[in-house]
Structure 1
């Protein structure tokens, strides 16, 4: 392949689209599949049973598809799956899954994963997220679409971060973050709705207002979570334009196993 630098080491069993570019001294393992127009910079290691989609860019010194950092891992052929159009900056580490979960780590499409980001085994990252420098996910963490992880934020295993949530710089998360909510601090505390992010994504003033009302039901009203869910359910029927977003928040509360940041 003319797009592979002569110093790169690409296993003959690897499946690379002819348009893939591989930079100097990078290593591609035998069970790797890479889609069209993806660019792999210099000194990148891609190993394990890793599938990468189209139009991704990997900057230098990243380690992709390595064995999970889990003492229970015994060499099972677990996987890493990465979608399309992701930007992966320097020194990122994405691990394959474990047999104790579904056996796969998934990263969606159109994500920005900046320098030193760590995505551990069995994590599920959605689409259009932003991970700033040194953001780190422990194992089994789920991150919804459009969520933002600020620099040096860290997430405990099995936590969930909802769609459009914002996690502030240096935040330590040990509980779930509901959709649309902004949290920061160590330990993390809620600080309202991610208003600026929602404006940039085209949410109307009315929709943002309804989400703020839902936030107040959860955090300011003194209601239990079950009572807050009931109040949000009542609001859904009267607000058709906001109902899908309110439902997303209500269902997240019902599916939280670690409890929410509160």
Structure 2
């Protein structure tokens, strides 16, 4: 397991937990919850909800048949679900953006996506490999999930070493062109210095459906239905559309 993966798992655990189907504790009753069922899990499985802004981790209780529940979540915060299984990880990412000022929402066009790619490539000065995994948003706001790699030698590097980063960048278009959001630098998901051989063994699947989950006082429980775990294959990728559709169809 890489250092950053271990760090994520070691974030402070907050909130009391209750077994699926058990009586709610005082902490659970006062907070929100994320529930669901894992399909395709084999062996030990860890499920947690991460509040990246507050750097807090809430561990789930996983019961029989892959049923899980994360309890005691403060309302109106955003959570990304992280599932570790068979040396692989399925990770939620928050690609939500604010609505545009238009009365009828207008989606991103192919031209928008191309301009965003080109602008990110111009802004990026260190990594030499950029893989755009997802570009979501509307005519005025966009979120870009990018996987980056520095393969060229860098200061203090050893033969065969790389730097791997996965980030979410936000952009705004106040007028004719896209500009990087001034509210933040980016959302850092991973920053690792490792050998190329170690990088090639990483198995991370990002899924926007499992990110930006927000329990509210009015709707404190988020039911994700059935989550189909991807095959534990090496690679950094976005969840397959088919898997996401299956999840949507299984949600009550």
> TM-score, structure 1 length as denominator?
0.23
Between structure 1 and structure 2, the one with the greater Rg is 1
| Higher fraction of strand | 2
- Greater relative CO, 1 or 2 (CA 8 Å, sep 6+): 2
Report the TM-score when normalising by structure 2: 0.24
